[in-house]
């Protein structure tokens, strides 16, 4: 990475409180292009809150968030998504009553344009657009290895596959930055390993990833940089090796109900 | 002639406050259930209708007003408990859409059953004490108006005391404020939900019995009363008891003045006009904090 | 896939075309005409309820706006009926927009409340604004729709007109559901946050579909006015709004063909039960409650879901949340 290149995402002095509870306090960090950055921290450290702030589901009380040089803090979630930030959710959020393929097709929403009437009338150009959407959605399913399930309703998938489907759906929107909130939680050993491979494949394709993860071996394996949150504050940042030895990080984990 | 106008306005004020007191009772019923469950119970108005008609029927069998009042309130309260138990507790999908449709269905069903049982005619309940109007300056006031205002005030005060002073009442408020924490400290949320349905059914029934001597009791009276009580709750701030009272009285007076001074045909539209304006301008209502 | 679907629509159109041949009874034709009008209303409401997850408790008002705009403009002012129909559409869309913008900013119950209030006000207006609407006794003398040299004034001709419109609306709605925005609608019904996170402006989409369904209602209203040649307020009260909701519930949420079924069954049933006229209200209430308690996605849809559940549980054998 060249130091001169502007980072893809800049979080600067961001704070957010819920009532009296300071979920985030003056947090700043950067995500350079093409990097996998992990955010770790004990339960309740503010990781999900950070994701909500970046993706527009919450507004920060203070601070700025810059994506490709533009301020995005406080913009509505759909507007942030339109800029090329996609995400998954800690509690999987699928469209349960739609098929696996349709779920991913929704991911193409921002890149297609059929309106109400044109879509309803199935004009020649919207039919072509639909065919393209279908094909690209299939591609995303193949990437995560779910194409054999395409016609099933998403609600019936086992949790491991649900997480993969959520990633496929986010990928279908061709994001520049992908936020993954605990993608490995609920996965077994084998599934976690496959997830690690997928994450590395995505990086190889040029995607930038920001990852919240409790599974330390996965995090250490895939992350280029790690940021550590504790009680809403950033207490350390750096490459995995340095983080593992960081005294404050060790203290934070020993002082909590951390299990790994 | 200013004194004549004053008399007319005073007269409208009296009838407005009387109706408003009933709206307030209904609004409180909406608020209690909303606080406990976040459900808008569209069947609330039917409890009012049933209160009135049950009291009338009981009075025909056993002509004692206090007995009819108590008996009818008790019956309707039981019905409220039953409604919660049979129609709402088994529902797994708690989305607003589902809950709205169920309570709307409940309202329609109760109304339909009332029509089968009592027919379409209107029934009379004698006023609690006499029908000789009292003179209040240039206006007149019926003893029943005073009964409505007095009993409604007592009920509101009693309710407030229940919520602030008794353990059960405090527990209900705790559930409304923070259901998760309430469960953690061991408050049985389900009992509180049930209680809220019982309480609001009782309030509705009392409202119906109070107003019956003034307006007669008929199977379809509940729909309008319910919707107006609901408008009052929104106007005052859904879930706020002071707001419900204020909303009810304001609505009653606004309606009465508008129908007297502008046009009586649009009387019923006033409440809904206010409802729309409030929803659009200040959806949390006059005294509501959160949206 | 596409071929099968075209065959289905073709078959349905054929049945519609042949129906009057064997059944040239004016009573039955009129009944079918009402089913058609109700179907248009119910499909629109179903798009809103079943797809956007929002409810309108005042849909009868938009129906009434279409009916009265057509009625008043043609009967009182002699405007061309087709122009009047378009005016009704514009008015209904404008009103829906005015209500929808503020109400859809807020979650949950607000659209239900706002449409309920709107429904009552519009009804009162129909009753009270005697000068325009003819008051409680209604407005008569509404001319029939016509094309050059052809007037739609017999039940048979109206049947042709209404069912052409209904078929068009059904096809358009099925097309909509199976399109980019239709997918977005179903998505937001299942998870609004996920939909937002994929760039779907959920609030705008809900508004769009609310206005769209008001347009259907207004179209149905205009057809109704020109079919009966008379309109009265009682056709547009809250109870009718609730009946429409019941039709959606019976047909099943998010089901275009179910809407046809719901409208058909609940239009015919009260006719069969004329003797039990008083039971109608009880029946509607009971259907609403029982179906929604046990099958929140509606009767037909819910039964299909149960079947699907069994089927896929067995097939994937996995745990699901
Ligand atoms: N909407 C909210 N309202 C009130 N408090 C909240 C809200 N969201 C989060 N919090 C609180 O903010 C703090 C940070 O929560 P957050 O979900 O960001 O933690 P996290 O780091 O993602 O934890 P976990 O590892 O358990 O997912 C917690 O104490 C949480 O209870
Ligand atoms: Mg989290």
Q: Which residue is associated with the tokens 């209604």?
A: C138
CA distance C196 to chain B (A): 19
Phi, psi for residue A18 in degrees, rounded to 5: -115, 105
Interface membership of A121 toward C (CB under 8 Å): yes
Atom of ligand 1 nearest to the CA of A47: 21
| Residues in Cβ contact with C147 at an 8 Å cutoff, skipping those fewer than 6 apart | none
* Confidence at A26, pLDDT banded by 50, 70, 90: very high
Per residue in C182-193, pLDDT (tens digit) is: 999 999 989 999
As a dihedral over the C-alpha atoms of residue B149, residue B151, residue B157, residue B163, rounded to 10 degrees, the angle is -130
* Confidence at C114, pLDDT banded by 50, 70, 90: confident
Q: How far apart are CA B108 and CA C271, in angstroms?
A: 20
* Residue B289 covered by a domain: no
Which subunits have 3 or more CB–CB pairs within 8 Å of chain B?
C
* Residue C19 covered by a domain: no
Q: Between chains, do B40 and C120 touch, taking CB under 8 Å as contact? A: no
* Residue B129 covered by a domain: no
Bridge partners for A37 per DSSP:
A210, A225
Q: Which residue of C has its CA nearest to B277?
A: C114
In this structure, which ligand is nearest to the CA of A58? 1
* Percent of chain B topping pLDDT 70: 99
Q: Between chains, do C172 and A121 touch, taking CB under 8 Å as contact? A: yes
Alpha helices (H) in chain B, listed in sequence order: 2-37, 44-61, 65-83, 96-118, 143-165, 167-177, 179-184, 189-215, 221-236, 241-261, 267-281
Q: Between chains, do C180 and A92 touch, taking CB under 8 Å as contact? A: no
Q: Which residue is associated with the tokens 């059914």?
A: B201
* Residue C4 covered by a domain: no
* Residue C6 covered by a domain: no
ipTM of the complex: 0.91
* Residue B248 covered by a domain: yes
Q: Between chains, do B279 and C128 touch, taking CB under 8 Å as contact? A: no
* Chain CA centroid to CA C90, Å: 17
As for how many domains chain C has, the answer is 1
| Residues in Cβ contact with A227 at an 8 Å cutoff, skipping those fewer than 6 apart | A29, A37, A38, A39, A40, A234, A236, A237
In order of A139, B154, B170, B175, C209, the CA distances from B163 in angstroms are 60, 14, 5, 12, 43
Per residue in B32-51, pLDDT (tens digit) is: 999 888 889 999 999 999 99
Which residue puts its alpha carbon closest to atom 11 of ligand 1? Answer: A23
Token readout for C69 is: 């705009």
* Percent of chain A topping pLDDT 90: 79
Cα angle value C238/C244/C246 (rounded, 5°) = 105
Q: Give me the pLDDT at residue A260, please.
A: 44
Q: Based on C-alpha coordinates, what's the Rg of chain B?
A: 19
Average pLDDT taken over every residue of chain C: 90
What is the Cβ-side half-sphere exposure of residue B51, based on CA atoms within 13 angstroms? Answer: 33
Say if residue B291's pLDDT is above 60: no
* Residue B224 covered by a domain: yes
Q: Based on C-alpha coordinates, what's the Rg of chain C?
A: 20
Which of B142-146, B269-273, C92-96, C298-302 has maximum average pLDDT? C92-96
Q: How far apart are CA B263 and CA C128, in angstroms?
A: 10
Taking alpha carbons only, the member of B72, B85, B109 closest to residue B212 is B72
Token readout for C269 is: 């049933």
Which subunits have 3 or more CB–CB pairs within 8 Å of chain A?
C
Alpha helices (H) in B62-95, listed in sequence order: 65-83
Say if residue A92's pLDDT is above 70: yes
Q: Between chains, do C176 and A116 touch, taking CB under 8 Å as contact? A: yes
Say if residue A2's pLDDT is above 60: no
Q: Between chains, do B231 and C117 touch, taking CB under 8 Å as contact? A: yes
Per residue in A172-230, pLDDT (tens digit) is: 999 999 999 999 998 889 999 999 999 999 999 999 999 999 888 899 999 999 999 99
* Confidence at A254, pLDDT banded by 50, 70, 90: low
Atom of ligand 1 nearest to the CA of A41: 21
Range of the domain at B248: 2-122+139-281
Is the distance from CB of B36 to CB of B61 less than 8 angstroms? no
Q: How far is the centre of ligand 2, averaged over its atoms, from the C-alpha of A186 (Å)?
A: 14
Q: Which of A19, A41, A48 for a ligand 1 pocket mutation test, highest count of atoms within 8 Å of Cβ?
A: A48
Atom of ligand 1 nearest to the CA of A42: 25
Q: Which residue of C has its CA nearest to B119?
A: C278
Q: Between chains, do A156 and C208 touch, taking CB under 8 Å as contact? A: no
Taking alpha carbons only, the member of B232, B203, B256 closest to residue B48 is B203
Per residue in A123-177, pLDDT (tens digit) is: 999 999 999 999 999 999 999 999 999 999 999 999 999 999 999 999 999 999 9
Q: How far is the centre of ligand 2, averaged over its atoms, from the C-alpha of B95 (Å)?
A: 24
Average pLDDT taken over every residue of chain B: 90
* Percent of chain B topping pLDDT 90: 60
As for how many domains chain B has, the answer is 1
Which residue of B102, B106, B258, B272 to mutate against C (max C Cβ within 10 Å)? B272
Token readout for B116 is: 């089968």
Token readout for B244 is: 């419900």
Say if residue C320's pLDDT is above 60: no
User: Residue C289: which of B40, B102, B227 has the nearest Cβ?
Assistant: B102
* Residue C208 covered by a domain: yes
* Residue B230 covered by a domain: yes
All residues of chain B having their beta carbon less than 8 Å from the beta carbon of residue C282 are 108-109, 112-113, 116
Q: Which residue is associated with the tokens 């060790």?
A: A250
Q: How far is the centre of ligand 2, averaged over its atoms, from the C-alpha of A91 (Å)?
A: 9
* Residue C16 covered by a domain: no
Q: Give me the pLDDT at residue C108, please.
A: 65
Interface membership of B66 toward C (CB under 8 Å): no
Range of the domain at C96: 25-320
* Residue C172 covered by a domain: yes
Phi, psi for residue A205 in degrees, rounded to 5: -85, 5
Taking alpha carbons only, the member of C119, C152, C141 closest to residue C33 is C152
All residues of chain C having their beta carbon less than 8 Å from the beta carbon of residue A152 are 312, 315-316
Q: How far apart are CA B54 and CA C27, in angstroms?
A: 42
| Residues in Cβ contact with A150 at an 8 Å cutoff, skipping those fewer than 6 apart | A99, A100, A101, A138, A141
* Residue C271 covered by a domain: yes
Per residue in C234-275, pLDDT (tens digit) is: 999 999 999 999 999 999 888 888 999 999 999 998 888 776
- Residue B121: Cβ-neighbour burial (10 angstroms; 0-12, 13-18, 19+): exposed
* Residue B133 covered by a domain: no
Report CA torsion sign: C277, C280, C282, C283.
positive
Average pLDDT taken over every residue of chain A: 91
What is the Cβ-side half-sphere exposure of residue C191, based on CA atoms within 13 angstroms? Answer: 21
Token readout for C167 is: 């078929």
All residues of chain C having their beta carbon less than 8 Å from the beta carbon of residue B106 are 285, 289
CA distance B186 to chain C (A): 27
Q: What is the DSSP letter of B67?
A: H
Q: How far is the centre of ligand 2, averaged over its atoms, from the C-alpha of B94 (Å)?
A: 25
Span of A104-108, A217-221, A228-232, B179-183 with lowest mean pLDDT? B179-183
- B182 or C294, higher pLDDT: C294
Q: Give me the pLDDT at residue A3, please.
A: 46
* Residue C259 covered by a domain: yes
Say if residue A1's pLDDT is above 50: no
| Residues in Cβ contact with C130 at an 8 Å cutoff, skipping those fewer than 6 apart | none
Q: Which residue of C has its CA nearest to B85?
A: C293
What is the end-to-end Cα distance of chain C in Å, rounded? Answer: 31
Give the number of beta-carbon pairs within 8 Å between B and C.
133
Q: Which residue of C has its CA nearest to A153?
A: C312
Pocket lined around ligand 1, Cβ cut-off 6 Å: A 18, 21, 23, 41, 43-49, 90
* Residue B288 covered by a domain: no
- Residue A186: Cβ-neighbour burial (10 angstroms; 0-12, 13-18, 19+): middle
In order of C47, C258, C287, C299, C305, the CA distances from C255 in angstroms are 8, 5, 18, 11, 12
Taking alpha carbons only, the member of C253, C286, C257 closest to residue C269 is C286
CA distance C178 to chain A (A): 7
Q: Between chains, do C199 and A89 touch, taking CB under 8 Å as contact? A: no
The answer, yes or no, to whether C and B have at least 3 beta-carbon pairs within 8 Å is: yes
Is the distance from CB of A252 to CB of A42 less than 8 angstroms? yes
All residues of chain A having their beta carbon less than 8 Å from the beta carbon of residue C197 are 55, 57, 77, 81, 86-87, 89, 93, 170
Q: Between chains, do B105 and C120 touch, taking CB under 8 Å as contact? A: no
Q: Give me the pLDDT at residue A161, please.
A: 93
In order of A147, A156, C306, the CA distances from C312 in angstroms are 17, 7, 10
Q: How far is the centre of ligand 2, averaged over its atoms, from the C-alpha of A52 (Å)?
A: 10
Per residue in B93-145, pLDDT (tens digit) is: 888 889 999 999 999 999 999 999 999 999 999 999 888 888 888 888 999 99
Taking alpha carbons only, the member of C283, C285, C260 closest to residue C270 is C283
Which residue of B276, B281, B291 to mutate against C (max C Cβ within 10 Å)? B276
* Residue B189 covered by a domain: yes
Q: Between chains, do A81 and C197 touch, taking CB under 8 Å as contact? A: yes
Q: Give me the pLDDT at residue B5, please.
A: 81
Q: Between chains, do A77 and C196 touch, taking CB under 8 Å as contact? A: yes
Q: Give me the pLDDT at residue B102, please.
A: 95
CA distance C303 to chain B (A): 16
Say if residue C318's pLDDT is above 70: no
Interface membership of B262 toward C (CB under 8 Å): no
Taking alpha carbons only, the member of B211, B195, B202 closest to residue B248 is B211
Token readout for A140 is: 């995303």
Q: How far apart are CA C92 and CA C95, in angstroms?
A: 5
Q: How far apart are CA C278 and CA C262, in angstroms?
A: 20
Token readout for B268 is: 């019923």
What CATH number is given to the structural domain containing C234? 1.10.3470
Q: Give me the pLDDT at residue C315, please.
A: 60
Is the distance from CB of C299 to CB of C291 less than 8 angstroms? yes
Taking alpha carbons only, the member of C11, C18, C48, C49 closest to residue C32 is C18
Say if residue A258's pLDDT is above 50: no
Taking alpha carbons only, the member of B255, B16, B44, B267 closest to residue B149 is B16
Q: How far is the centre of ligand 2, averaged over its atoms, from the C-alpha of C105 (Å)?
A: 27
């Amino acid at each position: 990475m060249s130091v001169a290149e502007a980072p893809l995402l800049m979080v600067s002095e961001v704070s957010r409180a819920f009532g009296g509870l300071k979920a985030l306090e003056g947090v700043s960090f950067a995500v350079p292009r093409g990097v996998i950055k992990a955010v770790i921290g004990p339960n309740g450290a503010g990781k999900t809150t950070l994701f909500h702030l970046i993706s527009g589901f919450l507004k920060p009380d203070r601070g700025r968030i810059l994506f490709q040089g533009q301020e995005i803090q406080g913009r509505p979630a759909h507007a942030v998504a339109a800029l090329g930030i996609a995400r998954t959710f800690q509690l999987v959020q699928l469209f349960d009553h739609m098929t696996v393929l349709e779920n991913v097709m929704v991911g193409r929403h921002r890149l297609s344009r059929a309106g109400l009437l044109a879509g309803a009338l199935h004009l020649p150009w919207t039919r072509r657009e639909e065919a393209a959407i279908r094909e690209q959605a299939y591609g995303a399913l193949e990437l995560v290895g779910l194409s054999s399930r395409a016609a099933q309703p998403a609600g019936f998938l086992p949790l491991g596959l649900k997480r993969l489907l959520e990633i496929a759906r986010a990928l279908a929107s061709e994001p520049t930055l992908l936020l993954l909130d605990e993608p490995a939680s609920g996965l077994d050993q084998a599934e976690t390993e496959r997830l690690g491979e997928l994450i590395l494949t995505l990086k190889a394709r040029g995607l930038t990833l920001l990852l919240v993860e409790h599974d330390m071996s996965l995090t250490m394996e895939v992350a280029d940089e790690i940021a550590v949150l504790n009680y809403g504050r950033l207490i350390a940042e750096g490459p995995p090796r340095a983080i593992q030895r960081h005294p404050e990080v060790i203290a934070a984990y020993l002082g909590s109900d951390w299990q790994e | 002639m200013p004194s004549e106008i004053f008399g007319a306005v005073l007269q409208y004020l009296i009838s407005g406050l009387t109706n408003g007191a009933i709206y307030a009772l209904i609004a409180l019923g909406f608020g209690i259930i909303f606080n406990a469950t976040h459900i808008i119970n569209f069947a609330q108005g039917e409890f009012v209708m049933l209160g009135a008609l049950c009291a009338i029927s009981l009075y025909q069998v056993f002509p004692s007003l206090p007995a009819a009042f108590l008996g009818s309130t008790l019956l309707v309260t039981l019905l409220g408990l039953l409604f919660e138990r049979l129609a709402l507790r088994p529902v797994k999908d708690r989305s607003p859409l589902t809950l709205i449709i169920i309570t709307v269905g409940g309202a329609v069903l109760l109304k339909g059953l009332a029509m089968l049982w009592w027919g379409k005619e209107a029934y009379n309940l004698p006023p609690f004490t006499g029908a000789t109007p009292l003179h209040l300056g240039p206006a007149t006031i019926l003893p029943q108006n005073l009964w409505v205002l007095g009993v409604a005030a007592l009920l509101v005060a009693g309710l407030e005391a229940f919520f602030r002073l008794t353990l059960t009442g405090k527990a209900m408020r705790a559930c409304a404020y923070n259901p998760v924490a309430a469960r953690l400290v061991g408050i049985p949320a389900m009992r509180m939900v049930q209680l809220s349905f019982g309480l609001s059914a009782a309030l509705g029934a009392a409202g119906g019995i109070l107003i019956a001597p003034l307006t007669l009791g008929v199977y379809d009276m509940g729909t309008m009363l319910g919707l107006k009580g609901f408008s009052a709750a929104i106007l005052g701030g859904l879930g706020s008891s002071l707001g419900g009272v204020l909303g009810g009285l304001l609505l009653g007076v606004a309606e009465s003045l508008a129908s007297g001074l502008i046009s009586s045909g649009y009387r019923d539209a006033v409440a809904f006009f206010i409802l729309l304006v409030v929803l659009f301008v200040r959806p949390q209502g006059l005294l509501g904090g959160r949206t | 896939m596409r071929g099968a679907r075209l065959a289905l629509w073709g078959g349905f159109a054929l049945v519609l075309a042949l129906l009057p041949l064997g059944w040239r009874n004016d009573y039955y034709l009129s009944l079918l005409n009402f089913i058609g009008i109700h179907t248009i209303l119910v499909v629109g409401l179903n798009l809103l309820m079943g797809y956007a997850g929002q409810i309108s408790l005042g849909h009868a008002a938009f129906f009434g706006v279409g009916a009265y705009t057509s009625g008043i403009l043609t009967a009182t002012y002699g405007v061309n009926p087709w122009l009047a129909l378009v005016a009704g559409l514009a008015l209904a869309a404008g009103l829906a927009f005015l209500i929808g913008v503020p109400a859809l900013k807020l979650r949950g119950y607000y659209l239900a409340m706002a449409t309920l209030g709107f429904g009552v006000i519009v009804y009162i207006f129909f009753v009270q604004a005697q000068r325009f609407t003819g008051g409680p006794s209604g407005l008569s003398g509404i001319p029939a729709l016509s094309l050059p040299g052809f007037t739609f004034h017999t039940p048979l001709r109206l049947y042709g007109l209404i069912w052409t419109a209904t078929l068009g609306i059904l096809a358009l709605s099925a097309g909509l559901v199976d399109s980019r925005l239709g997918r977005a609608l179903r998505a937001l019904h299942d998870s609004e946050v996920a939909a937002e996170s994929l760039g779907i402006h959920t609030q705008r989409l809900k508004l769009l579909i609310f206005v769209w369904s008001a347009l259907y209602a207004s179209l149905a209203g205009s057809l109704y006015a020109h079919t009966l040649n008379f309109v009265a307020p009682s056709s547009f009260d809250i109870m009718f709004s609730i009946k429409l909701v019941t039709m959606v519930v019976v047909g099943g949420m998010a089901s275009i063909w179910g809407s046809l079924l719901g409208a058909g069954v609940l239009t015919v049933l009260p006719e069969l039960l004329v003797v039990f006229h008083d039971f109608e209200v009880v029946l509607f209430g009971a259907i609403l409650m029982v179906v929604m308690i046990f099958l929140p996605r509606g009767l037909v849809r819910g039964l299909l879901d149960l079947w699907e559940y069994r089927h896929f549980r067995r097939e994937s054998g996995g745990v699901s949340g």
